[in-house]
Structures are given as C-alpha cells and as structure tokens.
Amino acid sequence: MEEGGFIRRFASADTSDSNAIFQLTDNYTLFYYLCIKKNAFSDEHYWSNTFTSAFHNAWKGHAFERVCLGHVRQIKAALGISGVQTNLCSWFTRGTSDRRGAQIDLVIQRADGFTDLCEMKHSANVFTIEKDYEKELQNKVDAYRELSKDKRTLHLVMVTTHGVTRNSNYNIIQNEVTMDDLFAI
C-alpha cells in the first residue's frame, strides 16, 4: 500500500517505529468513504445540504492537510529553506493526568539548527488565533519541547488558506504560509 502511493508513513520525531503515523493518501478513496458512502439515501442534493455541517468542515480540514503534505517542497520554499537539509515527520503524544495530548501536523527538522512545527488550518477567511487556540498551540510547543529529543530552536509555523489575522495572539507564531504559496511555481 505504501509503495503504491495509497498510504503514507510519517516517522515520529523521536524516530520510534512504534509511533509512526500512517495516512491514507488516495484522495478518491478518502472522498468515497467520507462523503459518498455516507449518502445512504442517495440524496441528489447531499453535497449542498451538508456543505456547512461539522462533518463537511472536518472533511475540508483533512483535505487541506493532505494538500499541504503533498506540497512540502513549496512550504519549504515559502519558509526560505529550500536548500537546507531536512527531516520531515509528524509528532503526537497522548494525554496524561499531567498534560493534554498534542499532535503536530508536520515537523521539519532542519540541519541549520531549527525545527519548524507546522500547524495546518483550513478557513474560508483569514484565520484568527483566538486566546483558547493560542493556549492549544502553546501546549503543542511545550509538549514537543519537553518530550521530543529535539534540541533545535523551535519555530511555530501556521499553514493556512488565506493567512493569519495579526491580533494580540499572532506573536505565538514565527512564520506563516498560505494556500497561494502551496501553488507557487
């Protein structure tokens, strides 16, 4: 499945094979199981009737993540690190009684002494980091810093459809990448 391009394996940042994440990457299969198969009543207006549902929004978010992960070369270019040797992985930790769980969509460990922690968010408009989400982002950074063996300087990067609102919570990130960057030549 992996060699055929149907699934993709992301090694864990701690290089433990037991923490690898497997992702189904065949877009039609994903769309079929998440959207077409759920249309049990053969509703000809299913797509337009569910367009604003929580289910549909979750699907858009996952689809955006897959697009981002298919355009890592463009993300690196937008960050100005095209020529830097990198290791790409994902990272997660389960929650405990002491800490909430955390998951990072894409970790770019760089040979120049930095690690970019990339958070991907789909939004119909410019994405706004609210106070609660800022705390969630800080938890991700803190958990990664504490639990990974990565000693590089950490940069938090937002990869969004239309950019990030520059509000009082914006300074938690060091860089941003937009959908336009993903499709730059």
- Stretches where the chain sits below pLDDT 50 are none
CB 133, CB 176: distance < 8 Å: no
Instruction: State the residue for tokens 């991700």.
Output: 140
State the pLDDT at residue 183: 93
Domain tally, the chain: 1
Closest Cα to residue 106, out of 76, 132, 128?
Answer: 76
Tens of pLDDT, residues 121-152: 999 999 999 999 999 999 999 999 999 989 99
CATH number of the domain where residue 49 is located: 3.40.1350
- List the domain range (segments joined by +) for residue 112: 1-185
Closest Cα to residue 115, out of 175, 185, 69, 171?
Answer: 175
State the pLDDT at residue 136: 96
Please state the separation of Cα 80 from the chain's center in Å.
Answer: 19
Which alpha helices (DSSP H) does the chain contain, by range? 27-31, 46-49, 54-69, 72-78, 131-147, 179-182
